């Protein structure tokens, strides 16, 4: 990095004061700016931007300071805070008049790449079926694309694969390239592979153990995913063979758990949480779905109970990534094959889903950071 180049600055000499000797002002240097950036921490990784290798370039032109920052994800949830902290710190340097900030992103993954080109594999699981796991997986994948990430989605829900419908790809056949590798389907920028392509319409998969393991391995490793920041895996509900196989086949960046506030769903999600912990998969957080139904007069009806996911998160020291209400629009968007974040991007629920996706990306960055060796 070209740090350390000194650019001189002179006090402008006004013709009115011809007798004053023009002295050079303290010169602003890139090294000085870099030093100040060492005092700015990434709020989630709790380390300074320079130490994290996030400062890509510094340039100085008169009182104009240009800084290029490489975030750990384009979906950075705290970009606003990082920007404000940089402006405040650098702005205190003498001679700085304008700060031009430029943000890029390079998604980091665990030390060991999950699959060739795939930086992070994130599983979306639930304890119980029907809690909206697939709906949220679809919206998370589409949200991360909207944030600028390269995203794949593997529908591994053998009991009810629904991603083809949620992405309007029902009936589309998978193709193979010359080397017999599978080419994923693509919708709203998400590269999609679904286990549904391997079964007849409407039939549930009854494979267990080794066959399932082999099929999952094939879908993961023989798909032309290309470069992916995030591969989201929509798991079947519960704690069965797919979960176990997946954790054996690839190093997962983590898992997200979806639950409703209902006691029985919470009990089951606790089991799923325990299973992930036992298989050393970090649990990145919980999403509470169908949290309430908003009545026309604005009051909230807590159809499935209230506060359960928050309590569970607190008890287990987990992140509650967000809460999504029960709405006709979310149900309809799934049925219509267009995730809500694409169908109604400005709606409050779409904005909340985008926020959850950013929080999730933040948690993935934290995991990647924690997996690095301490220097
Ligand atoms: P799972 O993957 O947990 O089995 P799905 O995502 O398939 O659950 O959702 C089950 C049903 O509930 C689907 O018809 C879906 O459209 C609907 N659904 C999911 N979340 C919501 C929500 N927040 N509001 C309304 N309907 C929802």
235 and 348 share one domain: yes
pTM above 0.85, yes or no: yes
Helix or strand (DSSP H, E) at 287: strand 283-289
Of 1-5, 121-125, 356-360, the least confident? 1-5
The answer as to whether 12 is a domain residue is no
Check residue 211 and give its pLDDT.
79
The answer as to whether 16 is a domain residue is no
Cβ–ligand 1 distance for 330 under 6 Å, the answer yes
Residue ending a domain, among 105, 139, 162, is 105
Q: Give the residue-averaged pLDDT of 271-292.
A: 94
CATH code for the domain in which residue 321 is found: 3.40.50.300
β-bridge mates for residue 230, sequence order: 151
Atom in ligand 1 nearest the alpha carbon of residue 135: 6
CA angle, residues 271, 272, 275, in degrees to nearest 5:
90
Q: Give the residue-averaged pLDDT of 220-240.
A: 94
- Compute the distance from residue 225 Cα to the ligand 1 centre, in Å: 27
Atom in ligand 1 nearest the alpha carbon of residue 334: 16
How far is CA 228 from its chain centroid? 12
The chain-wide mean pLDDT, for the chain, equals 88
57 and 152 share one domain: no
Confidence of residue 241 (pLDDT cuts 50, 70, 90): confident
- Our separate counts of H helices and E strands in the chain read 11, 17
Alpha-carbon span 242 to 232, nearest angstrom:
14
The answer as to whether 75 is a domain residue is yes
Instruction: For 26-57, write each residue's pLDDT tens digit.
Output: 689 999 999 999 999 999 999 999 999 999 99
Which of 124, 128, 130, 132 has most ligand 1 atoms within 8 Å of its beta carbon, as the pocket-test mutant?
Answer: 132
- Compute the distance from residue 83 Cα to the ligand 1 centre, in Å: 37
Which of 331, 336, 341 has most ligand 1 atoms within 8 Å of its beta carbon, as the pocket-test mutant?
Answer: 331
Q: How many domains does the chain have?
A: 2
Domain that holds residue 75: 26-105
62 and 168 share one domain: no
Check residue 84 and give its pLDDT.
97
The answer as to whether 352 is a domain residue is yes
- Compute the distance from residue 341 Cα to the ligand 1 centre, in Å: 15
Give the single-character DSSP code of 198: G
91 and 159 share one domain: no
Cβ–ligand 1 distance for 323 under 6 Å, the answer no
Residue ending a domain, among 61, 78, 105, is 105
360 and 285 share one domain: yes
3 state SS of 93: coil
256 and 134 share one domain: yes
In the predicted structure, residue 10 carries a pLDDT above the cut 50: no
Contact 251, 280 (CB under 8 A): no
66 and 137 share one domain: no
Dig out the tokens for 169 from the structure. Answer: 């790809």
Cβ–ligand 1 distance for 293 under 6 Å, the answer no
Give the single-character DSSP code of 196: G
The answer as to whether 7 is a domain residue is no
Query: C-alpha distances in angstroms, 213 versus 108, 109, 246?
Result: 27, 24, 8
Alpha-carbon span 233 to 255, nearest angstrom:
9
- Compute the distance from residue 135 Cα to the ligand 1 centre, in Å: 6
145 and 253 share one domain: yes
Which of 130, 268, 324 has most ligand 1 atoms within 8 Å of its beta carbon, as the pocket-test mutant?
Answer: 130
Phi, psi of 302 (to 5 degrees): -85, 75
Query: C-alpha distances in angstroms, 102 versus 38, 83, 196?
Result: 18, 10, 43
In the predicted structure, residue 14 carries a pLDDT above the cut 70: no
Instruction: For 132-186, write each residue's pLDDT tens digit.
Output: 999 999 999 999 999 999 999 999 998 889 999 999 999 888 888 998 899 999 9
Dig out the tokens for 52 from the structure. Answer: 């994290």
220 and 71 share one domain: no
CATH code for the domain in which residue 47 is found: 3.30.300.130
Q: Which parts of 34-140 are beta strand (E)?
A: 41-42, 47-48, 55-61, 64-71, 98-105, 121-126
In the predicted structure, residue 307 carries a pLDDT above the cut 90: no
Cβ–ligand 1 distance for 253 under 6 Å, the answer no
Alpha-carbon span 178 to 273, nearest angstrom:
41
Contact 226, 117 (CB under 8 A): yes
Residue entry with tokens 């159809």 = 303
Instruction: For 68-123, write each residue's pLDDT tens digit.
Output: 999 999 999 999 999 999 999 999 999 999 999 999 999 988 877 889 999 999 99
Cβ–ligand 1 distance for 156 under 6 Å, the answer no
The answer as to whether 194 is a domain residue is yes
Residue ending a domain, among 78, 105, 132, is 105
Cβ–ligand 1 distance for 269 under 6 Å, the answer no
- Compute the distance from residue 22 Cα to the ligand 1 centre, in Å: 72
Cβ–ligand 1 distance for 135 under 6 Å, the answer yes
- Say which residue, 335 or 14, is predicted with more confidence: 335
């Amino acid at each position: 990095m070209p740090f350390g180049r000194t650019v001189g600055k002179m006090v402008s000499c006004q013709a009115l004061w011809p007798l004053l000797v023009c002295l050079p002002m303290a010169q602003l240097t890139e090294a000085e700016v870099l030093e100040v950036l060492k005092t700015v921490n990434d709020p989630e990784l709790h380390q300074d931007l320079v130490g994290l290798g996030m400062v890509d370039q510094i340039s100085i032109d008169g009182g104009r300071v240009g800084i290029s920052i490489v975030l750990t994800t384009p979906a950075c949830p705290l970009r606003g805070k990082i920007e404000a902290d940089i402006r405040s710190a650098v702005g205190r340097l003498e001679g700085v008049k304008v700060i031009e900030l430029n943000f890029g992103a390079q998604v980091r993954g665990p030390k060991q790449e999950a699959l060739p080109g795939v930086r992070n594999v994130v599983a979306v699981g639930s304890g119980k079926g029907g809690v909206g796991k697939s709906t949220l997986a679809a919206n998370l994948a589409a949200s991360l694309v909207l944030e600028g990430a390269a995203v794949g989605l593997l529908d591994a829900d053998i009991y009810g694969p629904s991603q083809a419908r949620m992405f309007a790809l029902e009936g589309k056949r998978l193709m193979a390239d010359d080397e017999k590798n599978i080419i994923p389907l693509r919708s709203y920028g998400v590269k999609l592979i679904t286990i549904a392509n391997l079964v007849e319409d409407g039939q549930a998969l009854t494979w267990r153990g080794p066959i399932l393991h082999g099929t999952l391995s094939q879908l993961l490793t023989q798909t032309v995913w290309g470069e992916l920041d995030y591969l989201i895996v929509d798991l079947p509900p519960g704690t069965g063979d797919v979960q176990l196989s997946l954790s054996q086949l690839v190093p997962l960046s983590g898992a997200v758990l979806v639950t409703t506030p209902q006691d029985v769903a919470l009990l089951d999600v606790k089991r799923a949480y325990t299973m992930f912990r036992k298989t050393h998969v970090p649990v990145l957080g919980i999403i509470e779905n169908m949290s309430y139904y908003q009545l026309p007069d604005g009051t909230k009806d807590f159809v499935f109970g209230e506060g359960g996911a928050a309590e569970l998160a607190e008890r287990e020291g987990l992140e509650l990534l967000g809460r999504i209400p029960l709405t006709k629009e979310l149900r309809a968007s799934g049925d219509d094959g267009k995730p809500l974040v694409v169908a109604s991007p400005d709606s409050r629920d779409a904005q909340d889903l985008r926020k959850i996706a950013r929080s999730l990306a933040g948690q993935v960055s934290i995991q990647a950071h924690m997996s690095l060796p301490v220097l």
